[in-house]
Structure 1
Amino acid sequence: MAVDPSSLTTDQLNAYIVARLTVSGIDLTLLPTTADPVTGAPTQAQALASLRSFVLNNPTAINSWRPVPAAGADADALSQELSPPLEYPSIAQAWTGQVGDR
């Protein structure tokens, strides 16, 4: 179910962002809590603010994209992307031993 990010509170949005990052193996708690002018690393609060801005302002098409759509026209369009045409099919055929006798 798609949820409009603008309907979420700041705490809910932070929880969503932290959860998505955690699933991806990113731990925001490794960032400093206070600014470090030597390294220039963003603080946890700065990183969350930037990510909230991104989530709230990105196009709806990106926000609602799912890797595997339901059956139908969208599934057909995605299946075309899974196997893009080769620019030089004869070379690929030669590498895979699929060249016919001439």
Structure 2
Amino acid sequence: MTVGPSSLSTDQLNAFVVARLAISGVDINLLPTTPDPVTGAPTQAQVLASLRSFVLNNPAAVNGWRPGDGDPAQSQQLAPPLEYPSITEAWTGRVGGR
């Protein structure tokens, strides 16, 4: 059964975000819990709020992407879909769909 992000509570979304970050090797516990004006690093709460907003508001193509799209053999070969045309098109020589 597929559950949409909008049907999740804030705590459930936080758990989802933290789990997805952990899968990617990111530990938000390394971020400060209080604002640090010297470095400007975001707090853990700010990161969670921003990523909750991202999960709730972005297209399903980006929101539902999984590494390898179910095929673990390809998990390192596939990139997430780009939400907007990107400078990566210029880097790869595919400017304007050419």
Scaled by the length of structure 2, the TM-score of the pair is 0.65
Please state how far the C-alpha of 1:51 moved relative to its aligned partner. Answer: 0.3
Identity between Structure 1 and Structure 2 (%): 73
Any unmatched runs of 5+ in structure 1?
70-86, 88-102
The one-character-per-residue Cα deviations of 1:48-68 (angstroms, maximum 9, x if unpaired) are: 000000000000222233444
Query: Who is 1:82 aligned against?
Result: none
Query: Who is 1:33 aligned against?
Result: 33
Query: Which structure has the larger Rg over C-alpha atoms?
Result: 1
CA distance in 2, matches of 1:68, 1:58: 18
> Partner amino acid for 1:44?
Q
Q: Is 1:18 matched with 2:18?
A: yes
Any unmatched runs of 5+ in structure 2?
71-92, 94-98
**Relative to structure 1, is the Cα distance of residues 40 and 2 closer, same or farther in structure 2, using a 3 angstrom cutoff?**
same
CA RMSD of aligned residues (A): 2.1
**Relative to structure 1, is the Cα distance of residues 11 and 24 closer, same or farther in structure 2, using a 3 angstrom cutoff?**
same
Scaled by the length of structure 1, the TM-score of the pair is 0.62
The alignment covers a number of residue pairs equal to 71
Runs of 4+ aligned residues of structure 1 deviating over 6 Å after TM superposition are none
Query: Who is 1:9 aligned against?
Result: 9
CA distance in 1, matches of 2:11, 2:69: 29
